[in-house]
């Protein structure tokens, strides 16, 4: 049968389209097999604006206003013990004159007086006042340390959330490009009569889904960046750029019993409540001391003018007065016994608060340890098992689809599954580091095996 010009044109046209398909497949394969280690390097960043985790923590500790507020409160408290542990100011007494003439020599009792009196609390009261205030100062310092630990926890958690969102956005962008190539492939195959229109529609639908995911991830990143800016006291109008490569080795944790013991010794919140207990016990001691009186001692010297009556004769003598007074602790049942009951209950409140906080710290350590162990195992499983297997599956699907042995739906499903696994891989790393941050804050110190 003779070959016509039309058949030559169709053959040439088919060859051109097949060459186009081959070129597209080359691009698809190059996009599909980007290793996970290269995902992070795919996004260029400006080195001058990159915020590392250590830098974020250091900036937050230096500039966070809430931490500065706690520090200022502690410094204000630290000035109190020396004030309450000092005797009350002495009292100066002066002048005794008649109001009709204000003449210093008019009456026998008229005199120019000068005297000083000093109040002395019952022995032990001043020491208890100072002791109570000192414990409150220590509690304020513990609160500063607890605030610092929580700030570090929140900064680390926010930073690792941003890291995960950046990686997820990178993966979404890469998969968008991949699905665009899929669309081109199925459209070209459809044009040459070897593909289905439904494959084109399916690829476009999956591409739209990825666009929706990108919109959601972008919104989440914007919100999380605002949270981190608040923690490090930075302008909301600036940009937060996270490094694309990070240290990904996850450490081994100490046993929970060891972490419990460390928290009991190192957690600032527990130390704060223990100091609150001691302060409450000091107030109880003061309430018991109120059964005893305070003392006031004073001396007064009076200068008199004028002469004595004729029968006595001579100038009027000056007066020297010595005063000693005590307050009378009356109504011991209605007032002082009630005060002792009140202070006793306050001690119990702080002791119960200590036990409750201790239980909460143990529970937080257990939860954080469990979350870390699960995330660490998932991270390892995704990195060494699931993702390599999913990549091999996609590669096999691609090869099968080229020779029409695999339908397009299964090919797309395998690629979307790989996308999901790669996202979960980075999420597991983020969750693991967030659990470490919570665990460090709950223990208040070292959490790994020494």
Q: Comparing 34-48, 65-79, 170-184, 361-375, which segment has the lowest mean pLDDT?
A: 34-48
Coil, helix or strand at residue 358: helix
Q: Comparing 38-47, 100-109, 388-397, 430-439, which segment has the lowest mean pLDDT?
A: 38-47
pLDDT of residue 150: 93
pLDDT digits (tens, 9 = 90+) for 370-391: 999 999 999 899 888 988 888 8
pLDDT of residue 318: 77
Cβ atoms 116, 317 nearer than 8 A = no
pLDDT of residue 389: 87
pLDDT of residue 436: 93
Q: What mean pLDDT, rounded, does the chain reach?
A: 80
> Percent of the chain having pLDDT more than 90?
24
pTM of the model: 0.78
Cβ atoms 434, 161 nearer than 8 A = yes
* pLDDT mean over 408-418: 78
What band does 263 get if pLDDT is binned at 50, 70 and 90? Answer: very high
Q: Tell me: pLDDT of 4 over 80.
A: no
Beta-carbon contacts of 275 under 8 Å, excluding residues fewer than 6 positions away, are: 135, 136, 138, 139, 142
pLDDT of residue 41: 39
Q: Tell me: pLDDT of 1 over 70.
A: no
* pLDDT mean over 242-258: 82
pLDDT of residue 344: 92
* pLDDT mean over 31-37: 46
Q: Tell me: pLDDT of 46 over 50.
A: no
DSSP per-residue string spanning 123-150: TTHHHHHHHHHHHHHHHHHHHHHHHHHH
Q: Tell me: pLDDT of 62 over 50.
A: yes
**What is the Cβ-side half-sphere exposure of residue 47, based on CA atoms within 13 angstroms?**
1
Q: End-to-end alpha-carbon separation of the chain, Å?
A: 86
What band does 310 get if pLDDT is binned at 50, 70 and 90? Answer: low
Tokens standing for residue 264 = 């009991």
pLDDT of residue 237: 72
Q: Tell me: pLDDT of 413 over 90.
A: no
Angle at 66 between CA 232 and CA 217, to 5 degrees: 40
CA distance 123 to 127: 8
Q: Tell me: pLDDT of 47 over 60.
A: no
DSSP per-residue string spanning 311-322: TT-SBPPPEEEE
Q: Comparing 139-153, 347-361, 383-397, which segment has the lowest mean pLDDT?
A: 383-397
* pLDDT mean over 123-138: 89
**Per-range mean pLDDT, top range of 146-150, 207-211, 289-293:** 146-150
pLDDT digits (tens, 9 = 90+) for 153-194: 999 999 999 999 999 998 888 888 877 777 777 677 666 665
What band does 70 get if pLDDT is binned at 50, 70 and 90? Answer: confident
**Per-range mean pLDDT, top range of 15-24, 316-325, 377-386:** 377-386
What architecture does CATH give domain 5-63+121-292+329-443? Up-down Bundle (1.20)
> Percent of the chain having pLDDT more than 70?
79
CA distance 161 to 427: 8
Coil, helix or strand at residue 425: helix
pLDDT of residue 247: 67
CA distance 249 to 210: 30
Domain locations along the chain: 5-63+121-292+329-443
């Amino acid at each position: 049968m003779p070959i016509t010009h039309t058949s030559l044109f169709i053959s040439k046209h088919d060859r051109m389209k097949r060459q186009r398909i081959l070129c597209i497949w080359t691009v698809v394969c190059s996009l599909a097999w980007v290793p996970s280690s290269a995902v992070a390097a795919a996004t260029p960043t400006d080195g001058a604006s990159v915020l590392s985790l250590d830098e974020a923590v250091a900036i937050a500790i230096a500039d966070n206003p809430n931490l500065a507020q706690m520090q200022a409160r502690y410094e204000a408290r630290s000035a109190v013990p020396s004030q309450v542990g000092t005797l009350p100011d002495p009292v100066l007494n002066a002048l005794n004159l008649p109001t009709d003439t204000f003449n210093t020599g008019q009456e026998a009792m008229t005199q120019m007086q000068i005297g000083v009196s000093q109040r002395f609390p019952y022995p032990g009261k001043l020491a208890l006042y100072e002791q109570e205030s000192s414990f409150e100062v220590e509690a304020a310092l513990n609160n500063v340390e607890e605030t610092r630990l929580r700030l570090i926890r929140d900064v680390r958690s926010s930073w690792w959330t941003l890291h995960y969102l950046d990686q997820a956005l990178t993966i979404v962008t890469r998969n968008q490009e991949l699905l665009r190539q899929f669309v081109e492939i199925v459209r070209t195959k459809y044009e040459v009569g070897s593909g289905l229109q439904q494959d084109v529609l399916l690829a476009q639908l999956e591409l739209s889904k990825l666009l929706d995911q990108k919109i959601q991830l972008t919104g989440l990143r914007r919100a999380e960046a605002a949270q981190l800016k608040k923690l490090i006291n930075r302008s909301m109008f600036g940009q937060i750029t996270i490094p694309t490569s990070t240290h990904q080795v996850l450490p081994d944790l100490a046993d929970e019993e060891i972490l419990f013991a460390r928290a009991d010794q190192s957690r600032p919140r527990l130390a704060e409540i223990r100091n609150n207990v001691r302060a409450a016990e000091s107030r109880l001691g003061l309430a018991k001391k109120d059964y005893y009186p305070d003392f006031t001692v004073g001396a007064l010297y009076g200068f008199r003018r004028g002469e004595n009556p004729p029968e006595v004769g001579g100038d009027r003598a000056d007066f020297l007065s010595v005063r000693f007074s005590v307050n009378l602790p009356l109504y011991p049942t209605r007032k002082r016994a009630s005060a002792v009951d009140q202070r006793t209950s306050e001690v119990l409140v702080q002791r119960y608060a200590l036990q409750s906080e201790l239980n909460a710290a143990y529970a937080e350590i257990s939860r954080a340890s469990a979350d870390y162990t699960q995330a660490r195992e998932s991270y390892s499983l995704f990195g060494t098992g699931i993702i390599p297997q999913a990549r091999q599956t996609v590669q096999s699907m691609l090869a099968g689809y080229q020779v029409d042995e695999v339908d397009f739906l299964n090919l797309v499903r395998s690629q979307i599954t790989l996308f999901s696994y790669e996202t979960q891989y980075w999420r597991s790393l983020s969750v693991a580091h967030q659990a470490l941050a919570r665990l460090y804050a709950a223990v208040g110190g070292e959490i790994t095996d020494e």
